[in-house]
Amino acid sequence: MTELPELVSMKREEMARMKMLRGATKTLLAALNLDSKDEHFRETPDRVAKSYREFCWGCFVNFDVEVRSIMKSQFTFHDDQLMGTKVSVWSLCPHHLLPTHMKVKISYLPDGWILGLSKLHRLANLVASIPSCQETAASIIADLMMKHVKGIQGVMVNVIGFHLCTIMRGVKDSEMAFYNNAIRGKFREEERLVTEALKMIELMEKEQRGV
């Protein structure tokens, strides 16, 4: 079966970018004065390229196509219960390209439609796979929810981020965490929604601690 021309060019581009990642790793090893012929470093450029391909996978796909695929499974739901999910994703900070672990809680108020259960995880994971600031990631998730979930009335995206760039370098504080909330729609206007969402988040945290 012959492949579509756009698939062939995507594969070519991906191969070229993998080559760049291998080359960049070789440069890094040289800059650190490490022996790239040593048995432990010999395969490192290839391993590092594959690792970046894996955890920055969003940089290798068409973002809009991925979002559409995530958002297409929506189900009718005729109630206005607040919906909430917690997900855990890894990202890279844009300033140091060091890992960030983000605990993301998404609360939203539907009107007629809700997203499939796994979709919030897929959405957060897609956004996290492109290096960005924690606040930017929260805003992107909130905006995508508002844009694509049919009838949605509001959303609150609460993120707790553990950044290795402050844990293993800089201030070197292993307890340090950053908190932020991106709030859209009715959550901006109705305080009771924020209060209800925060209560739900508290329950999620308690459940996590096994209280």
Nearer to Zn ion, 98 or 198 (CB): 98
Q: Does residue 93 interact with Zn ion by CB under 5 A?
A: yes
Residue whose tokens read 């329950």:
203
Nearer to Zn ion, 8 or 176 (CB): 176
Nearer to Zn ion, 94 or 151 (CB): 94
What binding mask, one character per residue, do residues 116-155 give for Zn ion by CB under 5 A, x or -?
Answer: ----------------------------------------
Segment near Zn ion (CB under 5 A); pick from 20-28, 43-51, 52-60, 163-171: 163-171
> What distances in angstroms separate CA 161 from CA 73, 103, 149, 156, 209, one per listed residue?
28, 6, 25, 16, 17
Q: Which two tokens stand for residue 115?
A: 């997203």
- Quick one: which of 165, 14, 149, 33 has its CA closest to 101? 165
Q: Does residue 96 interact with Zn ion by CB under 5 A?
A: yes
Question: Is 153 in contact with 110 (CB distance < 8 Å)?
Answer: yes
Q: Does residue 95 interact with Zn ion by CB under 5 A?
A: yes
Backbone angles phi, psi at 53, to 5 degrees: -60, -35
CB of 172 to Zn ion, least distance (A): 13
Segment near Zn ion (CB under 5 A); pick from 18-26, 79-87, 157-165, 169-177: 157-165
Helices (H) and strands (E) in the chain, counts: 8, 6
